[in-house]
Amino acid sequence: MTFLLDEIALATARLAEAGVPSPRTDAEEIAAFVHGVRRAELHTVKDADFDALFWEGVSRRESREPLQHITGRAYFRYLSLDVGPGVFVPRPETEVVAGWAIERLNEMDVAAPVVVDLGTGSGAIALSISQEVALAQVHAVEVDPDAYGWAKRNISEHGQGRVTLHPEDLADCLPELNGQVDLVISNPPYIPPGAVPRDPEVRDYDPARALYGSGRDGLQEVRAVERTARRLLRPGGLVAVEHADEQGRSVYLTFPEDNGWRDVRVHQDLTRRDRYVTARFGQE
């Protein structure tokens, strides 16, 4: 164990030098993955069992390949999801959006709420809702073939029989549910085409289709979410849509009262930055 601790310390220094935001955590996660244990169980790895593949993983992380691509897993709320090339790696800020939806659904006087997740990606939001809201009927929509494959894999593992996956575009999906949905939620692409994310893990590895929105402001997909939510929701139904921290006002204005929206609000994430907009459709 002393040897592994020393190797983790050396790896931490290398990752810190490379600008990795959480070098110690990432070094430990790679060590745990390579040795087939949890981080809390690293002390059980004997010196003789040290696997040199640890340094291969460290080198990949040093080049700013996402930790989740190295381990093949991403943690989201209470889930451990399969991720890799071709799918957006779910972020902690999206957990806040999902948490709001879960709280509102559990407050509803509805026995089996109907939920639609537009642009589900890995399935993180849809699966969290299905896991944390009893009897929820969750529909996950994903048109991109690569992301659809990852969502199908995760739903097979975590949401079999509780989440229905649809290979459809969020702009015209699920007409059979028009006027019947209790909550629509989405983390659509919203980065303006001219803006380039600072983090290499995002810029170089997340699929462009999941990052960059259409139109000069990047909000064409958000506008499509508004139209689809207006079509799908029952009177009194709710919508939640994630956005970039500087887009709060623009997304707020995307849900006008003239379209039937009420109680439109901009919410902040844990860093106190504008992160998502919610609204209620019509009157209950």
Kindly give the pairing relationship between strand 73-76 and strand 79-82: antiparallel
* 121 marked as part of a ligand binding site: yes
142 annotated binding-site participant: yes
User: Does 187 appear as a known binding residue?
Assistant: yes
Nearest residue to 229 via CA among 117, 150, 71, 131: 117
- Find out whether 178 is annotated in a ligand binding site: no
DSSP per position, 104-171: HHHHSS-SS-EEEEES-TTTHHHHHHHHHSTT-EEEEE---HHHHHHHHHHHHHH-TTTEEEE---TT
Cβ pair 147, 90 in contact under 8 A: no
> Is 17 annotated as contributing to ligand binding?
no
Give yes or no for a contact between 122 and 74, defined as CB atoms under 8 angstroms apart.
yes
Residue 123 marked as a ligand binder: yes
Contacts of 148 (CB under 8 A, 6+ apart): 142, 165, 167
Q: Is 124 exposed, middle or buried (0-12, 13-18, 19+ CB in 10 A)?
A: buried
Q: Is 55 helix (H, G, I), strand (E, B) or coil?
A: helix
To the question of whether residue 57 is assigned a binding role by annotation, the answer is no
Q: Is 197 annotated as a binding residue?
A: no
Is 154 one of the annotated binding-site residues?
A: no
Whose tokens are 């959480």? That residue is 22
Which phi-psi region, left, alpha or beta, contains residue 218 (left: φ > 0; alpha: ψ -120 to 50)? Answer: left
Distance CA 34, CA 37 (A): 8
The reply, when asked if residue 119 is annotated as ligand binding, is yes
Q: What is the DSSP letter of 88?
A: P
The annotated binding site for S-adenosyl-L-methionine is made up of: 119-123, 142, 187
The annotated binding site is made up of: 119-123, 142, 187-190
The annotated binding site for substrate is made up of: 187-190
